[in-house]
Amino acid sequence: MRLQRQKRQEKHVKFYATRFGYRPPFRVILDSAFLGELVQRRSSKALPSLFIRVFGKNQVRTLVTTCTMRAISRKIKIADRENQTGKVPHSTGGGAEVQRSSAEQKRVGDHWRRVSWLARQLELLPCGHPKHKELDPGQEHFEADCIQACVERGPETAQQAGLTRSRGRFAVAALDSTLRSRLKATAGTMLLQLAVFSGGLHVQIEPPSTACLQEAREQHQRVYAATPAEVAAAHEAQRALQQSSSPAASGYRLSLAKVNEPAAASELQVRTGELGTNPDASRALPDSANVARVSRPKRTTKLPWMDAKTNITKAFKRNKSRGPNPLSRRKPQRKT
């Protein structure tokens, strides 16, 4: 199962590399929820090895945006304010404020301080967004807006700067449901998620979304589909071949006709009769024109793994383990 999972991850990496231009070093943007989950599971020290399992030995750059750092700082300030007042600074939807114990408030603050320490170890991606009021209740999703803007404008910004579009491609490792639903609707975005297998924490690439598959299909059509001029030239050549009186054109017309129709069958019989009486004509026409198609006979040979009566493949039987070879064993020595 582990080998199948690894092959599936390599397949996803190859898809994004061929269709959307992802190239090493892969640049991965992490959100605050992803970092918080790593700290919660005490896997912050294993962060580099998590991405090595996905991308192999290719270089990976883990990034955090400026707005992500602001979001973490906002959560720390909210936790400190809770610790001082004993209440949540804004209503939680029901109109009543939530009471928390001092130990729980302290735990929340310490958790986000550890997340802030982990985020400072990563590479900072300047986003250029203005600073929001960190305790404003209406700004909970400014981090998701920032990451979405960086992902959407990345290839265009790199192309305007004279760089390749792959320099602007970002993979996103996020656990925020709002951000994930937005990025799934954006074609060409590689999403990573956390998964637990065999008691360990792993990072894996999500299967391409519907938007990614649709964009890849359209790219394939644009590259490999025939142009209108090529289609018109092919139709013109087909009409010229059908109207021609050459032997090759006659064989082509016979191949297009259905053999089960009476007219086509009679014409085929006439053609084969003429060829039988005129040996020179058989050398002038191609094989597809002078020989009627014959259905391939069924297999009569009994293969070793097929049943002799029903000609059906038998179930594979694995040889059972046997005892040691008696000839290879040392004979007991007589005591003298």
Spell out the domain ranges in the chain.
Answer: 2-222, 228-290
Q: What is the pLDDT of residue 164?
A: 65
User: Minimal CA–CA distance to 32: which of 206, 150, 174, 201?
Assistant: 174
Q: What is the pLDDT of residue 34?
A: 93
Cα maximum dimension of the chain: 108
**Angle (CA) 282 288 290, round 5°:** 35
Secondary structure of residue 44 in the 3-state scheme: coil
10-residue mean pLDDT series, the chain (336 residues): 83 92 90 92 82 82 91 88 64 46 77 92 86 55 87 73 68 92 92 83 91 92 86 86 67 53 48 46 44 50 56 62 78 76
Residue 1 contacts residue 73 (beta carbons within 8 Å): no
Residue 77 contacts residue 134 (beta carbons within 8 Å): yes
- Full-model pTM: 0.64
CA distance 288 to 277: 18
Protein fold of 2-222: Rossmann fold (3.40.50)
User: Minimal CA–CA distance to 40: which of 104, 119, 112?
Assistant: 112
